[in-house]
Amino acid sequence: MAYQAGVSGGSSGNDSVSTSYQDPLATDDCKRDIPILAELGANAIRTYALDPTANHDTCMDLLDQNGIYLITDLSEPSNSINRNTPEWNVALYDRYTSVIDAFANYSNTLGFFAGNEVSNNISNTDSAAYVKAAVRDMKAYIKSKNYRSIGVGYAADDDAQVRDQMIDYMNCGTTADSIDFWGYNIYEWCGNSSYTQSGYDQRTAEFANYSVPAFFAEFGCNTNGGAAGRPFTEVEALYGSDMNEVFSGGIVFEYFEETNDFGLVSAVDSSSVSTLADFTSLSSQWAAATPTGIQSSSFKPTNTAARSCPTVQAGYWDSAENLPPTPNQNVCTCQVNTLKCKVKSGTSNDTISALFGEVCGLSAKACSGISGNTTTGTFGAFSMCSAEDQLSIALNAYYIGQQSASDACDFGGNATLSSNSPSAAGSCSSLLSSATSAASSGSTATSSSTKSGKKSDASLVGPSLGVGKFWIGGYISTVVLCVSGLWFL
């Protein structure tokens, strides 16, 4: 059951209007809801944004007592991979790892989603590389912390434009880089549809030989009369012989009734809820379902082959197999401490955005260390740093390229000279050398840091001169470059 009011389905991709959220597992409301979830027949919930600084013992223990597991998204509305200006940076890394730290030691934590519907059409398939980098790094983080094995996956929508490519991409390459499970947000079975009419037969065939578990991360179309009109007849197919051998169940959207009209209950106050028509419908369908399973000790996987990565093709698929570097604040800090020319502290985001366009327009080479190109799979060593750190790195590179002329570190009074020197790296030298070496070789950098009936629905400048959109520091800038008398927009 999807269990969170306000941000459900909107914690990744940055389409949600509000960036605020209430952690449903950090309030006493869970004492009201968990017995009702158990009565309904739920054995797992999905949450979309949790506060890693809050205490979750009461709710997680109550879930455990009722045989209910948790799978949660690692992002939150104001800190997620944005499909329009995608990044995998230090702030996101810290957010994701903090959620893992908060929930890894609960025995009923089932898994984590590194993204939710981030790539949702052919215009933003470059964002897939950043989601997959997040998967890779969170899997590595769990291992480095000696936590028990907890899966990290991705929740995708059912957009026909990118569906096949996403299925393959998230499951291709090495096991260390690919998802542990696939979640499908799918709303094609509406009303009293059927296994074939809904297209679920085709979706099942697509995953028949998938090498990791797949399940419905959201389902429950409400186009036939709203939430009160959902018969949930897809439950019989999902847990029956047609789909049981391929899909590992599904998560119904959603527990709370909101303006989108997908709810099973309506909250009356902090101590009571009123059940809606769909509550009874789903409860009876779940009670009648007879899924079959297998003991883990007896399980012998047969589908172990990864998929082939989709071919990079402009306007079709823009994420290469090679992924962005692992965010590491130590690398960024070490580099910034060596810079002579830096952006002034406190410079506004709007000014930083404008300065990226200015300095990268003046010198593409100055921005090579902070840019990334998903179509070629090449990323600057510092492309994972904060926007302010990235801008300082670019400004300093331009300044050095201008033979350290005093007026080359000004930029309208927004840059300033410091007393730093390259020798300031000191003990950081090996860390910087490792990061830059990984970037120049085109390999993925490693980190030493421990740090439908649904709801609402580029080329980069790298080491060589590119033409088009910069994706640097979370900003997009169209720049004009003049090379050998030719102007490029």
Query: What residues are annotated to the active site?
Result: 117, 218
Residues 6 or more apart whose Cβ sits within 8 Å of residue 182: 153, 154, 156, 167, 170, 171, 207, 210, 212, 213, 214, 215
Return the exposure string of 332-366: e unless at least 16 CB atoms fall within 10 Å of the residue's CB, then b. bebbbbbbbbbbeeebeeebbbbbbbbbbbbbbbb
Amino acid at 388: E
Instruction: Report d(CA 235, CA 239) in Å as an integer.
Output: 6
Residues 6 or more apart whose Cβ sits within 8 Å of residue 51: 23, 26
Instruction: Report d(CA 94, CA 32) in Å as an integer.
Output: 32
Judge whether 118 and 12 are in contact, CB under 8 Å. Answer: yes
Write phi, then psi, for 182 (nearest 5 degrees).
-115, 130
Instruction: Report d(CA 205, CA 489) in Å as an integer.
Output: 45
Judge whether 238 and 216 are in contact, CB under 8 Å. Answer: yes
Judge whether 236 and 282 are in contact, CB under 8 Å. Answer: no
Q: Is the dihedral of CA 208, 210, 212, 216 positive or negative?
A: negative
Return the exposure string of 299-321: e unless at least 16 CB atoms fall within 10 Å of the residue's CB, then b. eeeeeeebbebbebeeeebbbbb
If we measure between CA atoms, which residue out of 345, 376, 354 comes closest to residue 472? Answer: 354
Judge whether 368 and 461 are in contact, CB under 8 Å. Answer: yes
Strand spans (E) along 59-181: 69-73, 109-116, 151-157
Cβ neighbourhood burial of 55 (10 Å; 0-12, 13-18, 19+): exposed
Cis upstream peptide for 258 (omega within 30°): no
Residues 6 or more apart whose Cβ sits within 8 Å of residue 59: 24, 25, 26, 30, 31, 34
Judge whether 386 and 91 are in contact, CB under 8 Å. Answer: yes
- Token readout for 291 is 């899924």
Instruction: Report d(CA 359, CA 371) in Å as an integer.
Output: 13
Strand spans (E) along 78-147: 109-116
